[in-house]
């Protein structure tokens, strides 16, 4: 655990069921991590009344009142012109002006990306940030980017995502030679959209060619055959949300099945521990908190519909990223390539 004073700026207003889920997420997080300084940005009166109403126990929480908070349907012009006193803008502004700090929000993805780029800036040599997260698989985990920051990209963007993904994976797992692939509808070289084929050529022509295994289809992701999965944000986000939906479908149907008959309940008791372990392996909540990689600072995107438990994991991801000097390491890695 880091001995430095780490500060996390938290957007209290973003996402579904906020600020309640944010506050309960902070309560869970603070029970595990005591030495993090949390600064909560949002509607102060609403935050205080929510804390009192639900008897939430949080020590050492500074609340900074904000107005004109970002809405889910805000367009880029509104975000840039009219949201300078929002929880998102002020939280990111804090990160810009303070070292050893990071930002967490479950709010509007486009707004987080736009304001993060505006206030924190980009790593030299990177044009766009990408949402990067761990994806569970049969062997352990893969990292995937982009998961929704950029709906449209070009081949050069995907090459930059590949470089950042390579850097990030090497920080997480220094002892493994990673296998890298581009998400596509088929594995043949002539399959998919033109920009994917161009990106494959760019990656194959770089030093990454020794790690590049070609195109990977979505149904192969869970097998763990690829450690770094490159995608445009539109495709990546659809894949991620589809996987989460399937995970919820499987676990809810298993629960219903084991509750149908007495013999099923007995069978459940016999394999209860294994089922709990299985549920945890595919539980999207524990992987919540995606890094906007490529920024000149730490900005974490939580799922908008994440529970308080999921939000606590996003806070933990932010804390660990700051504690491990993740952004500085990625910056150094990128500049050394």
DSSP readout, 75-132? -HHHHHHH-TTSHHHHHHHHHHH-SSEEEEE-S-HHHHHHHHHHHT-B-TT-SS-EEE
pLDDT at 279: 65
Average model confidence (pLDDT) across the chain: 89
pLDDT at 1: 46
Beta bridge partners of 292: 131
pLDDT at 273 over 90: no
Q: What is the pLDDT of residues 15-30, one digit of tens each?
A: 999 999 999 999 999 9
Of 112-126, 171-185, 257-271, 275-289, minimum mean pLDDT range: 275-289
Residues above pLDDT 70, as percent of the chain:
96
As given in the structure block, the two tokens for residue 253 are 């149907």
Mean pLDDT of 99-112: 93
Query: What is the band of 65 on the pLDDT scale with cuts at 50, 70, 90?
Result: very high
d(C-alpha 49, C-alpha 28), whole Å: 19
pLDDT at 264 over 80: no
pLDDT at 278 over 90: no
pLDDT at 326 over 70: yes
Tell me the Cα Rg of the chain. 21
Instruction: Give 131's contacts (C-beta < 8 A, 6+ positions apart).
Output: 109, 145, 146, 147, 148, 149, 233, 236, 290, 291, 292, 293, 301
> In terms of pLDDT, which residue wins out, 256 or 67?
67
Q: What is the pLDDT of residues 297-322, one digit of tens each?
A: 999 999 888 899 999 999 999 999 99
pLDDT at 2 over 60: no
As given in the structure block, the two tokens for residue 188 are 């043949």
pLDDT at 260 over 90: no
Domain with CATH 3.40.718.10 in the chain: 1-126+294-324, 128-289
pLDDT at 135: 87
Please report, for residues 44, 172, 211, 226, 321, the alpha-carbon distance to residue 180 in angstroms, rounded to integers and kept in the order given.
46, 15, 6, 6, 23
**What CATH class has 1-126+294-324?**
alpha beta
pLDDT at 166: 93
d(C-alpha 143, C-alpha 133), whole Å: 6
pLDDT at 210 over 80: yes
Mean pLDDT of 247-260: 77
Beta bridge partners of 124: none
d(C-alpha 205, C-alpha 162), whole Å: 13
For 27-59, letters b (16+ CB in 10 Å) and e give bbbbeebeebebbbbbbeeebeebbeeeebeee
Task: Please tell me the pTM assigned to this model.
Answer: 0.86
pLDDT at 257 over 90: no
Topology of the domain covering 128-289: Isopropylmalate Dehydrogenase (3.40.718)
pLDDT at 329: 85
Mean pLDDT of 157-165: 94
Mean pLDDT of 52-74: 89
> In terms of pLDDT, which residue wins out, 243 or 221?
221
Mean pLDDT of 153-181: 92
């Amino acid at each position: 655990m880091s001995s430095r004073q780490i500060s996390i700026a938290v957007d209290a207003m973003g996402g579904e069921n906020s600020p309640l889920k944010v506050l309960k997420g902070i309560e869970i997080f603070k029970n595990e991590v005591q030495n993090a300084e949390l600064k909560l940005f949002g509607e102060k009166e609403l935050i205080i009344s929510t804390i009192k109403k639900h008897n939430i126990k949080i020590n050492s929480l500074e609340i900074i009142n904000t107005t004109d908070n970002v809405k889910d349907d805000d367009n880029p012009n509104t975000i840039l012109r009219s949201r300078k006193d929002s929880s998102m803008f002020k939280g990111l502004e804090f990160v810009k002006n303070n070292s050893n700090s990071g930002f967490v929000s479950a709010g509007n993805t486009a707004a987080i990306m736009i304001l993060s780029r505006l206030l924190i800036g980009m790593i030299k040599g990177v044009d766009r940030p990408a949402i990067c997260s761990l994806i569970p698989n049969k062997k352990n985990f893969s990292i995937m980017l982009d998961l929704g920051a950029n709906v449209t990209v070009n081949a050069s963007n995907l090459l930059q995502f590949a470089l950042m993904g390579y850097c990030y994976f090497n920080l997480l797992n220094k002892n493994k030679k990673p296998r890298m692939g581009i998400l596509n509808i088929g594995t043949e070289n002539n399959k998919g959209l033109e920009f994917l084929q161009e990106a494959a050529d760019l990656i194959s022509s770089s030093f990454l060619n020794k790690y590049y295994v070609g195109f990977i289809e979505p149904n192969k992701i869970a097998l763990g055959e690829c450690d770094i999965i490159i995608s445009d944000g539109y495709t990546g986000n659809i894949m991620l949300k589809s996987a989460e939906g399937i995970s919820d479908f499987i676990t809810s149907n298993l629960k219903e099945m084991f509750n149908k008959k007495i013999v099923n309940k007995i069978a459940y008791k016999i394999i209860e521990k294994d089922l709990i372990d299985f549920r945890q392996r595919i539980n999207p909540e524990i992987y919540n908190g995606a890094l906007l990689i490529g920024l000149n600072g730490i900005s974490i995107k939580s799922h908008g519909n994440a529970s308080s438990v999921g939000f606590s994991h996003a806070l933990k991801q932010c804390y660990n990223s700051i504690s491990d000097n993740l952004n500085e390491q990625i910056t150094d890695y990128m500049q050394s390539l």
